Chains A and B, each alone.
Chain A
Amino acid sequence: MHVPDGFFNAPTSVATGAVAAVGVGVALRKARAELDDRTAPMAGLVAAFIFAGQMINFPVGAGTSGHLLGGALAAVLVGPWTGALCISVVLLVQALFMADGGLTALGTNITLMALVGGFVGYGVFRLVLLVLPRKVTSVPVAAAVGALVSVPAAATAFTLLFALGGTADVATGKVLAAMVGWHVVIGIGEAIVTGLVVSAVLTSRPDLVRGARGLASNRAPLITKETSA
């Protein structure tokens, strides 16, 4: 669900727009350092993958459904900067080509979902990896915890913006309780799917999971029921 036009006042929209512009600018540089001249096609295809993944809805209870946000997933799979860049491109394309998310709210959406969601998710992922045993099987678990935290973190940042530049006179405590409560539920779904997807990619192409670099060599030879049969 994207923030539309008019949800936050003009100064907040301009301020988050500036934050997003700086964030995307840095992400462009860092992604170029990671991917070199492969940046354009690789980031474009990863963005298309995230967009497609977001189309799958899963029920979160009470008759409503959520969908994968993908911030933490992208950060673990392709690295935090390229991941944030891809999520930003998804939001840009949705705002400009699909009228999903307001143009004035684009900065807010990028700040919340790409920057806060992606980097909180990746930070937690790294921290959990430090605690868990240095095994490749720890990676999906850490990715799931990162995803679990990233969604309520973005909701908390949303509430902070709402307290600063919201256009409705609703007590901040109420907004925080509703937003974080709801997004913890969404975060659980996000965590399970993120962990399972990372685990699936690790099984077939461990070299493509950037968050598992340095761990992939520790894994046992790939013997599945199919290959040993």
Chain B
Amino acid sequence: MGAGHGHRLHFHGHSPVHRAPAHLKILALLAFVLVVVATPREWYLAYAGYLAVLVVVIGVSRVPFLYLLPRMVIEVPFLVFAALIPFVAEGPRVDVPLVGGWELSLSESGLVAAWGLAAKGTLGVLASLTLAATTEPSAVLRGLQRLHLPELLVQIMGFMVRYLDVVSADLGRMITAMRSRGVDPRSPRHWPALARTLGALFVRSYERGERVHLAMLARGYDGTLPDHASPGVHR
């Protein structure tokens, strides 16, 4: 497996935000989103303040906004959901005039709720993206370890992150092979073929896990992983 295991979201850099200890960044992110979620949505100025904080952090990190922006599409389904709320929510309604004499009847509380969802969701996504863009996956894992997440959980996450690209590429090759034989994996007509592919992928992944375990045993695995950040030190 000589391929690079670069992270999809990570943006290489050497800014103070990049260099800050990962466990502090995770704590800061958690505190930030908790405060944002707990802030009453009528405090509009506070949200401007939160956005300003994020903009400053992103500015210091020198990650281009144009790098983060396309990656925010992950929240689009929920923005659609938020946009629907004013139409279905209860309470007094306001009429919004549209061009051509049409009027939209919207719920007032629904509008406020939609604003709250959109603002909090967007701030959360932007803050999480900033962490992901400025922190190497291995550093996030070490940070979680320092925050005393159960050792086993961190190890499992580590293996998932390590083999994510391997397993995804495995599936990618299988899908390519299917397509080249005239199968459309999206069509329900070809679901049996797709399911056999997924079944094979499961068997391959499971057997890979068994091989990885044997390789670990051969190298003296005793339940804890060596800390590669400080060579020669076994925790």
Contacts and interface: CB of A to CB of B under 8 A. Distances in A.
Interface of A: 1, 4-7, 9-10, 13, 24-25, 28, 32, 37-49, 51-53, 55-59, 65, 68, 77, 85-86, 89-90, 92-93, 95-100, 102-105, 167-171, 174, 189, 192-193, 196-201, 203-205, 208
B33 A103 contact: yes
B58 interface: no
A161 to B, nearest CB: 14
Nearest to B224: A40
Nearest to A201: B199
Contacts, number: 256
B71, B90, B164: residue with the most chain A Cβ atoms closer than 10 Å: B164
Given A4-B121, A40-B152, A169-B91, A49 B201 contact: yes
A49 to B, nearest CB: 4
B194 A193 contact: yes
B88 A102 contact: no
A13 B159 CA distance: 28
A98 B131 CA distance: 9
A10 B125 contact: no
Given A41-B212, A56-B185, A104-B34, 15 more contacts: A40-B225, A41-B159, A41-B213, A42-B213, A43-B156, A45-B205, A48-B159, A53-B198, A89-B153, A93-B160, A99-B125, A168-B110, A171-B90, A196-B195, A201-B202
Contact of A7 (B78, B157, B191): B78
Nearest to B79: A4
Contacts of B213: 37-38, 41-42
Contacts of B114: 168
Contacts of B34: 10, 104
A208 B223 contact: no
B117 interface: yes
Interface in B178-202: 185-186, 188, 191-192, 194-196, 198-202
